[in-house]
Amino acid sequence: MKKGIRNSDRPPLPEHICRILQNDAEILSLSFAGKLDAAATALLWKPLLELAHQTAPRLLLIEADQINYCDGAGIGLFMELARQQQKRQQRFELKGLKEEFARLWSLYRPEDFMDLRGSRPHPCCLPEEIGRQACLAGQGIVDMARFTGELTSALLHAARHPRSVRWPEVWLVMEKAGVNSLPIVGLISFLIGLIMAFQATIPMRQFGVEIYVANLTALSMLRELGPLMTALLLAGRSSSAFAAELGTMKINEEIDALTTMGLAPIPFLVVTRVLATVIILPLLSLFANLMGLIGGAVVLLSLGYPLVTYTNQVKAAVNLGDLTGGLVKTLVFALIVAGVGCLYGLKTRSGASAVGDSATRAVVSGIILIVVADGLFAVVYYFLGI
């Protein structure tokens, strides 16, 4: 035995798997028997590596003729022992390994694993990063344009052939995205109407025109805040749900299975969600308008104004064009909410965080597009005098 190495310092080995035949400075001979799988390798890995490191023999000899099963874990153990010997510039021999296991051993060489340091990513310069982001943005625009064309074609086909639409699925999505959203939409709209009316009352009281808070609340809710806040809430609630559902189907290869069966994903999965959102978002917007007006009425009633006065003031401030202008927005917002969610769901890649990333991108992109579309509507309405 090598000088300075005591038996008590040697790591214990499971004798039924590995026995030490010879251990000195010249030769370390080990005999393996039985089943060398992942469980057995886990017991042997650290003790054998410590033993080889302590002994540092000139020849490490492995007797493997009694091994009746050896998988990749066992081959990995032998490969690591051989790598350590080559690193110390010593010899390694493996004898008696059966042919079916020897074929697995021959696939690798210890030299291939000499440098096990993880490769660090090279730092990216600013122009390269800008170019990469520009390419990704361009690819995203191309994907969105392609998806928009396919969705438009599918919606036109659904309009010509209504029976081809899976209407039970449409009603189910309407229930999840619409009916289940009523509490949060109503609460947020009521609070927005109440807060906006309360904040407007403070400066208007200086001029004795608190009654015009009703005009402000009605115009703001019907033309702008009602449709916009409803769309933003659905972007956070339903668009992310669409992206997560389709993303999970993509990872589980269910969409590939539908394609194999001859069912196109967009007509089969996307059209139902888009139709449901287009139907339900205007109705939710009407509900949001009503709750916002109720919130404004609470403030005016607390100031001593009768309800009939508030109602008459609202009727005088808004007309059918204001309500229609807001509802027209919701149709475009609905296409954005459902379309963006489904697009990023279908673009989901593999990985543990892929579904979460798709849902996040769907929400962020949906909110940005909704705000941009609302700004475009404001410009168009201004030039049209609406």
Q: What is the CATH number of the domain that holds 12?
A: 3.30.750.24
User: Which pLDDT tens digits describe the chain residue by residue (386 residues)?
Assistant: 444 444 445 556 777 788 888 887 788 888 888 888 888 888 888 888 888 888 888 888 888 888 888 888 888 888 888 888 888 888 888 888 888 888 888 887 777 776 655 556 666 678 888 888 889 888 888 888 888 888 899 889 888 988 888 889 899 989 888 888 899 999 999 999 999 999 888 888 888 788 888 888 999 999 889 999 999 999 988 899 999 999 888 888 888 888 888 888 888 889 999 999 999 999 999 999 999 999 999 988 888 888 898 899 988 888 888 899 899 999 999 999 999 999 998 888 877 788 888 899 999 999 999 999 999 999 998 888 87
Burial 35-44 (b: 16+ CB within 10 A, else e): ebeeebbeeb
Residues 204 and 349 grouped into a single domain: yes
Residue 206 lies inside a defined structural domain of this protein: yes
Q: State the pairing for strand pair 91-95/27-36.
A: unpaired
Residue 2 lies inside a defined structural domain of this protein: no
> Per DSSP, what are the bridge partners of residue 70?
36
pLDDT at residue 148 in the model: 87
Q: What total of structural domains would you count in the chain?
A: 2
Residues 141 and 274 grouped into a single domain: yes
Residues 134 and 72 grouped into a single domain: no
pTM, two decimal places: 0.67
Query: What strands lie across the sheet with 91-95, from one edge to the other?
Result: 18-23, 27-36, 59-70, 91-95
Residues 176 and 325 grouped into a single domain: yes
Residue 201 lies inside a defined structural domain of this protein: yes
- Whole-angstrom Cα distance, residue 325 to residue 224? 9
pLDDT at residue 275 in the model: 93
| 3-class DSSP state of 18 | strand
Residue 337 lies inside a defined structural domain of this protein: yes
Residue 365 lies inside a defined structural domain of this protein: yes
Burial of 3 (0-12, 13-18, 19+ CB in 10 A): exposed
What are the angstrom distances between the C-alpha of 311 and each of 12, 20, 274, 297, 319?
Answer: 88, 96, 36, 8, 13
H/E element, 99: helix 99-105
Domain boundary among 113, 138, 167: 113
Residues 240 and 320 grouped into a single domain: yes
Domain boundary among 52, 78, 113: 113
pLDDT at residue 2 in the model: 42
Closest to 265 in 3D by CA, of 253, 278, 280: 253
Residues 184 and 306 grouped into a single domain: yes
Closest to 322 in 3D by CA, of 232, 218, 217, 231: 218
> Per DSSP, what are the bridge partners of residue 18?
32
pLDDT at residue 12 in the model: 66
The residue whose two tokens read 């039924």 is 16
Residues 104 and 146 grouped into a single domain: no
pLDDT at residue 351 in the model: 73
- Whole-angstrom Cα distance, residue 341 to residue 361? 9
Residues 195 and 289 grouped into a single domain: yes
| Residue 26 dihedral angles phi and psi, to the nearest 5° | -90, -50
Closest to 214 in 3D by CA, of 112, 95, 295: 295
Residue 123 lies inside a defined structural domain of this protein: no
Which residues touch 20 (CB under 8 Å, ≥6 apart)? 13, 28, 29, 30, 31, 51
Q: Using only C-alpha atoms, what is the Rg of the chain?
A: 35
Nearest-5° angle of CA 162, CA 166, CA 167?
Answer: 75
Which residues touch 376 (CB under 8 Å, ≥6 apart)? none
Residues 80 and 142 grouped into a single domain: no
- Whole-angstrom Cα distance, residue 142 to residue 372? 19
Residues 108 and 136 grouped into a single domain: no
Query: For residue 219, how many other CB atoms are within 10 A of its CB?
Result: 15
Residue 245, token pair as written in the block: 């559902």
H/E element, 95: strand 91-95
Residues 72 and 167 grouped into a single domain: no
Domain enclosing residue 301, as ranges: 130-384
What are the angstrom distances between the C-alpha of 355 and each of 85, 140, 240, 278?
Answer: 45, 17, 10, 24
CB of 376 closer than 8 Å to CB of 316: no
- Diameter of the chain measured on Cα atoms: 105
| 3-class DSSP state of 71 | coil
Query: For residue 101, how many other CB atoms are within 10 A of its CB?
Result: 20
Residue 119 lies inside a defined structural domain of this protein: no
Residues comprising the chain, all counted: 386
Residues 103 and 146 grouped into a single domain: no
Q: State the pairing for strand pair 18-23/27-36.
A: antiparallel
Residue 1 lies inside a defined structural domain of this protein: no
